[in-house]
Amino acid sequence: MNDVMDIAFCLKCDQWVSQAQPWISRPGLIWPWVLPKLKMNIHGPCLSDINDLYDFARCLKWDHRVSQAQPWISRSRLLWSSPELISKITSCGTLFVPIGNKGSVNENLQWRISFSVAEKVLIYSFSHTQLLCYALFEILLKEIVNEMEELTGLLCSYFLKTLMFLISEENETTDWRPDNIIPCFMACLKSGSKGEGLDLKGSDFDIMILSSIYVVYESDKDVVQDWRIVLVMDTEETPPCFTQLKLCTNVNDLPNLFKQQLQQHRGKHLLSSELYKSKFIHNLQCVLPKLKMNIHGPCLSDIFDLYDFARCLKCDHWVSQAQPWISRSRLLWPSPELISKITSCGTLFVPIGNKGSINENLQWRISLSVAEKILIYSFSHTQLLCYALLKILVKEIVNGREDLKGLLCSYFLKTLMFWISEENKTTVWRPDNIIPCFMACIKRLSYCIEYSTLLHYFIPDNNLFYLRFNNKQRNTLINFLRKSYQKGIRVFSSSQTLRDYRRFQCETTRSVCEINLHTVIGSIKEYLYTSFNTNSLVLLFTLLNHCKSELSRCIFTLSLTSLYQQIPFALPHVNNPNNKQQYKFYKHDLSQLLVGVQSDAVSGWLILASFFYGHNNYLISIDIINYTLSKYTDESFFSKISLKQTDTLKLISRLPSPYVVFRNLRLNSVIPMELKSHHFYKSSRHCMNKLLETVSDYSQSGVLTGLAIINNFIVLGIACQMLGETYLARKYFRIAAQRDVNDVTSAAFRLRQFR
């Protein structure tokens, strides 16, 4: 009576009654009947609630893997996904969702093949970093891209998911580290110029869509028939780097959709690049109706020039036209490992013919963009910066002139960089040498334009500059580049990207290290000589163990050998040593001085000569002095130390002074006995005065006559010349020349050097 509980007695049938049987097999829109308050919208193959919280899709299933997806199982990949994961995915079968290809004639009769279960399994296999990267993509799409009215609806989550799968398959699993998430995310965003590592003003995204319906072979004997449409290259009527694609599948077995892209030519069915591109435009506009496109070569570009879409075909093998590239002679770059990696990527074909050809609409261009991208990735930082400077020069300065606009493109610069990189040693591309490298690239570009010759890097039979310029354009461009070369780095004074460079003074003929290195080494030597202590050892230890550049190793070697050079001067003098001690000191000092000769080209050898002179080994001393004089030239003062990269030592170009300074004047085995009188060491000027007194005394006393007196004045003139006293040097050489009536000495020759 209080309505607290209702009790009802009922009967049960263990089978489903026939009146409710239709509910089990009812297709389509059942949800409004089951959930009458739920308002639904059609969203592709799904039904969505008005709040876009749920998507309901009723699908069909086949327990096997469809043949269209069969190549995915065996295609080459790195580590992701594993064989176990692939096996698990293929066991899931295939789903079919009720939606047809938009714009097709029989769209209402078509079902889309869905691999949503496989995609879910793949996402579950993502590492934490991959998952975070995918989440960042979703946030970028929903909260940034879709907030821009002109970009709303252009991209969807499925595109991002597909992109993540492709990038995960192409990269090592070790790249997806928590500390590397930002570089991974940025790498996923970039392709085209940005994919090459350059995010310059005006750079775009190149999106290359590979057609899985077609497969290309180079010859009939290579053909393997499968579910795909087979095409064979035909290069009989095409110039280098282009080909026609001949149908090798029975044309009667093809749907009308593909027959419409074929064109008969001399009894052969050829795939038309023009018709193929037109069909791609139609399909792309059906998928992205809001996206307005322009044709840009083989690509479709949006009106903002942000994206380039290119639909291409692939041959799994390296084509024979590019085969000579593999074995041609080169220095070090690219390496054999890099060449092997490139050739394993196969070849692409993009829908564009040779401009001006009779059958241009039937031709396809051979594209090696994947190989080019791998080569760019192998560039050092200096090579990449040099490539960037060339692109800025063309885009912001050359194209800024109406008469030069459009004559040069990024592909020409890329090709130029490949050739220069192959022809030069990798050690040339040093950070301190970037300006000379850039200037060399400008000079090479000017040369190529002057002779209208820039050969395709992989297929040299194709001259990219053939009929590219008329005489007026060529002359204007050459003059502009020559003026740019003369300006050096100041050519970027009008550049928006590099406008800050106007504040710096740059010298293009010599690198910064080359100009300042002798000063740096001199300072280190001075520090080590004057205050050798624990700090000196720390400095040498740091140079050896923590500075990995070639320059730091070079400085360490020079500093260490210079210290070895000073050891004999620093040792205490032993009075009246016996024969055994003398021999021990001789061997010890000689070993230190032999290491010290590597410090430079002159002083180490002269100290060694002084050592042998002090030990009465006069002939050896003279041989060493003659050897030193042969090395003493204006072009090279430093000896070449044998390091891994000897070109680094070209930086070492000048010695502070071309003569030896004895820093420690105590008695030792290096200083000759003639110099061990203390009155000689007060100053260089004092030494000059003493030498002048000696020569004058000998001349007046008559102890020395004739040739001996002449040689004394020559020695006196040389001493004045070394100290910078050119007036006195000329005076003493003149006195010697006047006395040398028969011209048997070098006095007259030395005097002529001052005229």
- Which amino acid type is present at position 41? N
Distance CA 485, CA 482 (A): 5
On whether the CB atoms of residues 130 and 266 are closer than 8 A, the answer is no
Distance CA 231, CA 222 (A): 11
Closest CA to 156 of 144, 134, 138, 132: 138
On whether the CB atoms of residues 392 and 408 are closer than 8 A, the answer is no
Structure confidence at residue 419 (pLDDT):
96
Distance CA 679, CA 686 (A): 8
126 burial (CB, 10 Å; 0-12 / 13-18 / 19+) is middle
Distance CA 273, CA 262 (A): 9
Closest CA to 433 of 648, 628, 644, 266: 648
Structure confidence at residue 334 (pLDDT):
94
Distance CA 654, CA 651 (A): 9
On whether the CB atoms of residues 566 and 665 are closer than 8 A, the answer is no
Structure confidence at residue 277 (pLDDT):
86
Distance CA 232, CA 665 (A): 86
The CB-side HSE value for 522 (13 A sphere, CA atoms) comes to 12
Place of tokens 């002529």: 752
Closest CA to 204 of 310, 311, 307: 307
Place of tokens 């005229």: 755
CA dihedral 276, 280, 282, 283 (to 10 degrees): 130
Handedness of CA 719, 725, 726, 728 (dihedral sign): negative
- Which amino acid type is present at position 481? L
Structure confidence at residue 352 (pLDDT):
92
What is the β-pairing status of strands 262-265 and 268-271?
antiparallel
Place of tokens 């176990």: 84
Closest CA to 687 of 716, 729, 730, 658: 716
Distance CA 484, CA 503 (A): 18
CA dihedral 608, 613, 619, 624 (to 10 degrees): 20
Provide block-wise average pLDDT over 10 residues at a time, the chain (755 residues): 64 76 56 57 77 78 83 72 82 88 80 88 83 72 56 68 77 70 54 54 68 88 88 93 93 86 91 88 67 75 72 91 93 92 92 90 93 91 92 91 90 95 91 90 93 94 92 93 88 79 46 46 53 56 61 69 72 72 82 77 80 83 79 44 38 39 54 55 65 74 68 82 80 86 80 74
Closest CA to 445 of 480, 470, 404, 490: 480
Distance CA 584, CA 570 (A): 16
Structure confidence at residue 211 (pLDDT):
78
What does the DSSP assignment read for 270-298? EE-HHHHHHHHHHHHHHH-TT--EEEETT
On whether the CB atoms of residues 678 and 688 are closer than 8 A, the answer is no
What does the DSSP assignment read for 96-156? EES---TT-TTGGG--EEE-HHHHHHHHHT--HHHHHHHHHHHHHIIIIITTSGGGTTS--
